[in-house]
Structure 1
Amino acid sequence: MHVRTPEQAAFASAIDAFCRDRTGTRAQRDALTNHGAEAHSPALYAEMAELGWLGVGLPPEHGGSGGGMSDVCLFAERTAYGLAPVGGYITTAVAAGPYARFGTEAQRATILGGIARGRVEAISISEPGAGSDVAALTCRATRAPGGFVVNGQKTWCSNAHLADHILLVARTDATRSRHDGLTLFCVPAGTPGMEVRGIPTMGGKEVNDVFFTDCFLPEDSVVGAVDRAWPQLMAGLNSERLILAAAMLGRGRRAFDDAVAYVKERKQFGQSVGSFQALKHRIADLATELDCCELLVYRVAAMVDEAPEQTLPREASMAKLKTTETAKRVALEGMQMMGGYGYATEYDMESHLRATVISTVYGGTSEIQRDIIGKTFGL
């Protein structure tokens, strides 16, 4: 496994202790999530903000601790392992990047400062006709006196129902190439002309449709440069994919530990089922794969910390691909090893499976990650 600094080891230990105390039992998690219907607990999130953890990757001038990507990944991993219902953190950490890199000082003060204090942020890219093909988006922002008027629909927007702002990607120039003419906008919650409508899923209240009908956004809503959203988004792909990978590393490790605990206790034919070679070898393979994932995630995080301005399409996509697919495999194998109990809501394995299966879809599907990696070899 990767080597942590003494400060990172202490941080991880503090998160683990907090989760054992606050989310260590099913009863505690049910109380925080309305029996699993909510993926995010504002109360628990506020406690983490008080501890200063939510600003781990933010600059000190905006209430953060000035940590790097390795620290952000550590927080995402350990909270996921601890089953802390803070699903709002992932989109918040991803949305923070464009504001930090391209936002005005006022935007950075509002957004980054709010994140450190426990505010949730969201980013809206996908549309009914633009998922993996991001450049196909058609939501329009048309020039108007003093700003822009937005019309169109976004979909699969995680945490839009919780967010203080939505970082919107809209088309501002339809005459340019598919990858040009896109602009980022900061849209405050409750803006007239914007409607957020939840999409029911296996994961509960997580994702939303967002509708824009003659929604006026003032000029100072633009984040970065008009018509330059594509390169701005590309600059943040390292962060998005790494944070998602780190979270699934944590969830995969939790699914693994739960499976091991079960097969040690479950007796059949007069002995623990974990002692049978078929299960013992599965455990050995999964443990090896998870350690490989950890080394990959934190290696790429260290590369980002060394040179934050570089883009790492191959490495970041490898981390996201390998870790999400491995976490899904661990949950599937865990369910198989637990038999019917793995399918029962009494145990956490079924929720591990729901969380890991969707991770291979959002943030760029596994197929898209493979395509990106292939392209870096000139294919």
Structure 2
Amino acid sequence: MSIDLTDEQKAFAEAIDDFCRREAGTREQRGDSPHHPGLYRRMADLGWLGVTVPDEYGGSGAGMVDTCLFLERVAYGQAPVAGFTTSAIVAAAVERSGTGEQKKTVLGGLVAGRVFAIAMSEPEAGSDVANLSCRAVRTDDGWIVDGQKTWCSNAHIADAILLVARSSGSPGDHHGLTMLLVPTDTPGLRISGIETMGGKEVNDLYFTGLRLPADAVVGTRDNGWQQLMAGLNVERLILAALMLGTAQRAFDDALGFIRQRRQFGRPVGSFQALRHRVADLATEIECCRLLVHRVATLVDRDPARVLPRESSMVKLKTTEVARQVALAGMQMMGGYGYACEYDMERHVRATLAATVYGGTSEIQRDIIGKTYGL
């Protein structure tokens, strides 16, 4: 399948590239944080954060092809706007299942430059999402939430968190999960950052007698599992598009280095071992680009259709290739690939984590195998 972008899409990509060169072209401009609020707001002012938000909430109402194009170019340009990823996932969930007021808050908030996070994982429930035990108890006038969540990306910079909690049944049951929208300034919520290789990007969340109104429910009570499954296409495509852009950037950085670096009297890229490695990596990246575009096109044709096989394939393939490219880039650059003076070490950190969050590569393979009746 060929990738045929419209003139408008080409102009959109060129505008993002130009913005990233001007606003995030140096390490000093990007800073050390994965999210730069000022840069994020400037993208909001340009209308880019609402790429997939319906026009009635201030967005442009584009589809997943345009969203993936935006994510790919932002990742390639290394723009520190990590808050968009989780915000787009939350916005998609609220658009599918939320009330009119929730849509105004979240979809309109995303367009305006606000950040949202989603909380699913727990100390004893990562890949096994059905094992959630953080509990939301119904009261006469609302809900009381108690429990812990972990690995929650961007909670520390978010306006609100889409919480997936157990409202009935026992850990292990797919039925009995409910989505609740929790403003981060709600009493009873404590957010604690987790130190990682990438800095403070993820958090532990502690809920202690947190009270929410009855209308905090997103969708229907006890139906959170089905609502989560309906969002798999969007979540996995978002992660794949980000890693496609990162893979291409790591490839281009490595290629530029080996063209210039000389050993034994000639550029190291002229040696067959590196030429062949470059050829293999370039081919793998192009396969990923075709796969991302193909799955995004399928989603745009029928947004209600769940694509468990295709969405797992695109997440698996693109994150694994991105990791392969970054590690190969570090190897080709030698000690320079490990030095903080160059961006390759950042690419390595980002791509290693990408094969874990959003469903590990092992889980994706298991899902794909099951779609073949295994």
Write the distance in 2 (CA, Å) between the matches of 1:108 and 1:28: 33
Aligned pairs (5 A) from 1:4-43? 4-30=5-31, 36=32, 38-43=33-38
Unaligned runs of 5+ in 1: 31-35
Distance in 2 separating the partners of 1:135 and 1:99: 21
Q: Alignment partner of 1:97: what SS?
A: helix
Which of 315, 318, 321 aligns to 2:313? It is 318
For this pair of structures, how many residues does the alignment match?
A: 373
Looking at structure 1, the residues matched to 12 and 53 of structure 2 have their Cα atoms a distance apart, in angstroms, of 16
SS at match of 1:183: strand
Select the residue among 314, 336, 344 that pairs with 2:339. Answer: 344
Change (3 A) 1:343 1:231: same
Task: Using the TM superposition, give the Cα deviation of residue 155 of structure 1 relative to its aligned residue in structure 2, in angstroms.
Answer: 0.1
Residues in 2 aligned to 1:75 and 1:83: alpha-carbon distance in whole angstroms: 12
Question: Any residues of structure 2 matched to 1:192-341 within 5 Å, and which?
Answer: 192-341=187-336
Counterpart of 2:80, as a letter, is P
Q: Deviations over 1:252-291 (max 9, x none)?
A: 0000000000000000000000000000000000000000
Q: Which residue of 2 aligns with 1:186?
A: 181
- Indicate how the Cα distance of structure 1 residues 175 and 334 shifts in structure 2: closer, same or farther if over 3 A, else same: closer
Deviation at 1:27, TM superposition (A): 2.2
Is 1:52 matched with 2:53? Answer: no
The structure 2 residue matched to 1:142, chosen from 125, 137, 153, is: 137
Q: CA offsets per residue over residues 67-125 of structure 1, 9 Å max, x none?
A: 00111111111000000000111101111111001100000011100100000010000
1:314-365: CA deviation from partner (whole Å, max 9, x where unpaired):
0010000000000000000000000000000000000000000000000000
Deviation at 1:176, TM superposition (A): 9.1
Match of 1:33 in 2: none
- For residue 242 of structure 1, report the CA deviation from its aligned partner: 0.3
Report the 3-state secondary structure (helix = DSSP H, G, I; strand = E; otherwise coil) of the residue aligned with 1:205. Answer: strand
Q: For 1:164 and 1:29, how far apart are their aligned partners in 2?
A: 22
Q: CA RMSD in A?
A: 0.9
Aligned-residue offset at 1:167: 0.0
User: CA, structure 1 residues 175+87, in 2 after alignment: closer, same or farther (shift >3 Å)?
Assistant: closer
Tell me which residue corresponds to 1:104.
99
Provide the residue aligned with 1:161 in structure 2: 156
Please give the TM-score of this superposition, normalised by the length of structure 1.
Answer: 0.97
TM-score by length of 2: 0.99
List structure 1 segments (4+ residues) > 3 angstroms apart after TM superposition.
Answer: none
Q: C-alpha separation between the residues in 2 aligned to 1:163 and 1:314?
A: 31
> 2:199 aligns to what SS in structure 1?
coil
Q: Distance in 2 between matches of 1:98 and 1:23?
A: 30
The secondary structure found in structure 2 opposite 1:67 is: coil
| CA distance in structure 2 between the aligned counterparts of 1:340 and 1:93, rounded to whole angstroms | 37
- Give the aligned residue type for 2:327: L
Letter in 1 for 2:230: A
SS of structure 2 residue aligned to 1:161: helix
Give the match's secondary structure for 1:207: strand
Give the SS at the match of 2:154. Answer: coil
Q: Tell me whether 1:62 sits opposite 2:63 in the alignment.
A: no
Post-superposition shift, 1:29?
1.6
5+ residue gaps, structure 2: none
SS state at 2:61 partner? coil
Shift of residue 175, structure 1, vs aligned partner: 5.4
| Distance (Å, rounded) in 2 between the aligned partners of 1:129 and 1:305 | 35
- Paired residue for 1:118, among 74, 99, 113? 113
Partners in 1 of 2:4 and 2:182 — Cα distance? Answer: 40
Is the partner of 2:196 in helix, strand or coil?
A: coil
> In percent, how many aligned pairs have the same letter?
64
SS in 2 for 1:131: coil
Deviation (angstroms), 1:144 = 1.2
